[in-house]
Amino acid sequence: MTRELCVLGNHAIEGEVLREAVIDARDMCSMNFAREEHKKLEKILLNFVIPAMGGYDNQLACDIARHVEQIRTFSGNFCWRHRHLGASHGVVGKRAEMGEGGAQ
């Protein structure tokens, strides 16, 4: 995220003011993309890796599951409430400059 300060004069400021931060549509688009990528990683970890480790009887598997949950919880599910802001820079969940295979 960009955190630069710019004096705009009489120009309108676009964005949504949050309690302690301002997030613009491009940043929200990145958060939407991050949410979708996290969902894919979570599916791999919970459906394949953790069972291969012996399930939740394995302490490391429990730690992985806990960290996955904490990422979603403490990120506010990647700013889910404001997900619509990113739609102007790409479909919600996909960055305009990102294809199916990753960065282009």
* pLDDT tens for each residue of 25-55: 788 788 888 888 999 999 999 999 999 999 9
Which residue range is the domain that position 83 belongs to? 37-96
| Residue 31 located in a structural domain | no
Number of domains in the chain: 1
Q: What is the mean pLDDT of the chain?
A: 76
Q: From the centroid of its chain, how far is CA 65?
A: 18
Residues 6 or more apart whose CB falls under 8 angstroms from that of 54 comprise 61
| Residue 87 located in a structural domain | yes
Residues 54-59, mean pLDDT to the nearest whole number: 95
Q: Which amino acid is at 82?
A: H
| Residue 25 located in a structural domain | no
Q: For the stretch 3-39, what's the b/e string if a residue is b when 16 or more beta carbons lie within 10 angstroms of its beta carbon?
A: eeeeeeeeeeeeeeeeeeeebbbbbbbbbbbbbeebe
